[in-house]
Amino acid sequence: MYQDTYKHKGQRKKLIEELHKSGIKDEKVLQAMMKIPRHFFMDIGLDKLAYQNKAFPIAAEQTISQPFTVAFQTQLLEIKKGAKILEIGTGSGYQTAVLLELGARVYTIERQKQLYLDAQVLLKSLGYKAQFFYGDGYKGKAAYGPFDGIIVTAGAPYIPDALKEQLKTGGILVIPVGENDKQIMYKITKIAENEFKEEKFGNFRFVPMLEGTAKNRK
Ligand code: SAH
């Protein structure tokens, strides 16, 4: 059904060049995104738009993040091969694929049942292996921690303590913080037990991070 044609690859290359020009300098992140056919993670009818630098709707009224945002958050995580990464908000699974392509071991949580199910099928069909969880990311996943990195891909009204607690010393939490549709990107580094360094990076726009799991399958 889905094919990765020369046309898709050409459009993808242009997008990657655009990301580089707009400040994404981590070659490994750019290479990972060059490898992954973003249109596979979107509705088949949207495949002509998949290489625009924009967010698009996916199921359950959620969105696949804008490529610049994916690249920016991934760059902030400073992933080393074999790093243990927790992702909150699996969504389409695109960001998950980028993390896996960088050699991370990924644990990913989603509160929408349909997205949780669909992302597993898609990533498996592309040969990617991750650990998927249906649940509430506010709690993190203590049983699998501590993590080298935690990435939140929904707008959080505040920084959940559980996520900070589940970082290794030296670990990094990347989280967009703010309500409504405006967030500031935070990079929080655990420098010692109970000691954190906080850095802020510009404005972004995410769907909200919500408590609990969604009750209705859409
Ligand atoms: N990385 C995804 C982003 C999807 S949008 C992609 O690029 O496709 C953000 C996702 O976070 C949505 O799927 C939403 O359902 C999920 N989400 C929101 N609050 C959550 C929570 N508390 N726990 C887990 N997932 C959550």
Closest CA to 118 of 46, 52, 62: 62
DSSP string, 27-81: HHHHHHHHHS-GGGGS-GGGTTTTTSSS-EE-GGG-EEPPHHHHHHHHHHH---T
Please name the residue whose Cα sits nearest to atom 26 of ligand 1: 89
Residue 171 CB–ligand 1 contact under 6 Å: no
Position in ligand 1 atom list of the atom nearest CA 95: 1
Q: Is the pLDDT of residue 29 over 80?
A: yes
Query: What percent of the chain stands above pLDDT 90?
Result: 94
Q: What is the pTM of this model?
A: 0.97
Read off the pLDDT of residues 117-174 as tens digits, 9 standing for 90 and up: 999 999 999 999 999 999 999 999 999 999 999 999 999 999 999 999 999 999 999 9
Ligand 1 contact, 88 CB (< 6 A) = yes
| Dist. CA 110 → ligand 1 center (Å) | 6
101 found inside a domain: yes
Total of domains in the chain: 1
- Tens of pLDDT, residues 88-127: 999 999 999 999 999 999 999 999 999 999 999 999 999 9
* 68 closest CA partner among 22, 36, 6, 9: 22
What is the CA(17)–ligand 1 centre distance, in A? Answer: 27
In a domain, 41, yes or no: no
Residue 4 lies in a domain: no
> Which of 22, 65, 92, 125 is the catalytic position?
65
Domain contains 15: no
Where residue 133 sits, what CATH number does that domain have?
3.40.50.150
Is there a catalytic annotation at residue 65? yes
The domain of 149 spans 57-204
Tell whether the model's pLDDT for residue 76 goes beyond 60.
yes
